[in-house]
Amino acid sequence: MRRALLLVGSPKAGPSTSGALGAYLLDRLAEHGVQAETRRVAEVLRDPAGLGELAGAVDRSNLFVVSFPLYVDSLPAPVVRCFEGLAAVWGARAGGRPRFAAVVNCRFPEASQCDTALAICRRFAAETGLSWAGGLALGGGGAVGGRPLDRAGGRVRNVRTALDQAGAALARGEAVPERAVHLMAKPLVPRWLYLLIGNLHWTCAARRHGAFRRLHDRPYA
Ligand SMILES: Cc1cc2nc3c(=O)[nH]c(=O)nc-3n(C[C@H](O)[C@H](O)[C@H](O)COP(=O)(O)O)c2cc1C
């Protein structure tokens, strides 16, 4: 395995958790002698020739990785547009395409929120002749907050280990190992703490907007 291409699927202009996860994985691949380049969805779509260029870059690599945030239980629209664009550029010619892996992160603490998005990625691979190499899902992505993983503290050590294991396996031409999937999915914040902070946040917001006594209203019921 010599070349990898990372597509960062966060539409954010600045640092993103998707970018941080993808960059860490590329560093691990580099340690195993894999050269890698990165593209961002916004830049690909802004350039009229971007999708054709992306399709060529994917075809020249041995591994294509997409790292994106979960949006409404699915992929952000710009990532969907890139997938549709790649499928259109490639047309019916199937087979001979590189391996494809996905990394998805979401705000809710349960990584299982990302199951549908990963299923969509698997389907995209099947439809376009990419060889599915597996996916990693991270809940509570806010704990990374777009920081480089090396500087995101001990709370994300499981995330780093999961990506270490995934990087080593992908560099060997293997699929993302199950143990990496499980490590990545371990909650960064206990569920009770997430609910406590979430409820506090909603209560404060409701007070601020004068809606505290109306939280249980059901105007459409
Ligand atoms: C439009 C929009 C929709 C979102 N939908 C979900 C969702 O369905 N479930 C979830 O857990 N997080 C959702 N999120 C939160 C993001 O997945 C989360 O903040 C993620 O860590 C952002 O990653 P990034 O920094 O790579 O963009 C949504 C965020 C936005 C802006």
Q: What is the pLDDT of residues 56-85, one digit of tens each?
A: 999 999 999 999 999 999 999 999 999 999
Nearest CA to ligand 1 atom 3: 71
Residue 19 CA: which ligand 1 atom is closest? 26
Same domain, 116 and 204: no
Residues 112 and 149 in one domain: yes
Domain interval for residue 221: 190-221
Do 204 and 173 sit in the same domain of this protein? no
Q: HEC profile for the chain?
A: CCEEEEEECCCCCCCCHHHHHHHHHHHHHHHCCCEEEEEEHHHHHHCCCHHHHHHHHHHCCCEEEEEEECECCECCHHHHHHHHHHHHHHCCCCCCCCEEEEEEECCCCCHHHHHHHHHHHHHHHHHHCCEEEEEEEECCHHHCCCCCHHHCCHHHHHHHHHHHHHHHHHHCCCCCCHHHHHHHHCCCCCHHHHHHHHHHHHHHHHHHCCCHHHCCCCCCC
Mutation choice for ligand 1 from 16, 72, 159, CB with most ligand atoms inside 8 A: 72
| Minimum CA distance residue for ligand 1 atom 29 | 71
Do both 98 and 28 map to the same domain?
Answer: yes
Distance from the alpha carbon of residue 97 to the mean position of ligand 1, in angstroms = 30
Categorize the per-residue pLDDT at 93 as very low, low, confident or very high, splitting at 50, 70 and 90.
Answer: low
- Report the separation in Å between the CA atom of 51 and the middle of ligand 1, taken as the mean of its atom positions: 24
Overall number of domains in the chain: 2
- Ligand 1 cavity residues, CB under 6 Å: 10, 12, 16-18, 69-73, 105-108, 113, 141-142, 146
Residue 190 pLDDT more than 90?
Answer: no
Q: Are residues 80 and 165 in the same domain?
A: yes
pLDDT at residue 94 in the model = 63
14 and 95, same domain (yes or no): yes
Tell me, yes or no, whether 65 and 171 share the same domain: yes
Q: Tell me the pLDDT band of 3, cut-offs 50, 70 and 90.
A: very high
Mean pLDDT of the chain: 95
Same domain, residue pair 46 and 98 = yes
Give the domain CATH number at 55: 3.40.50.360
Percent of all residues in the chain with a pLDDT value above 90, rounded to a whole number: 90
- What is the arithmetic mean of pLDDT over 86-109? 89
Q: What percent of the chain has pLDDT over 70?
A: 98
Of 107, 138, 188, the one to substitute when testing ligand 1's pocket (max ligand atoms within 8 A of C-beta) is: 107
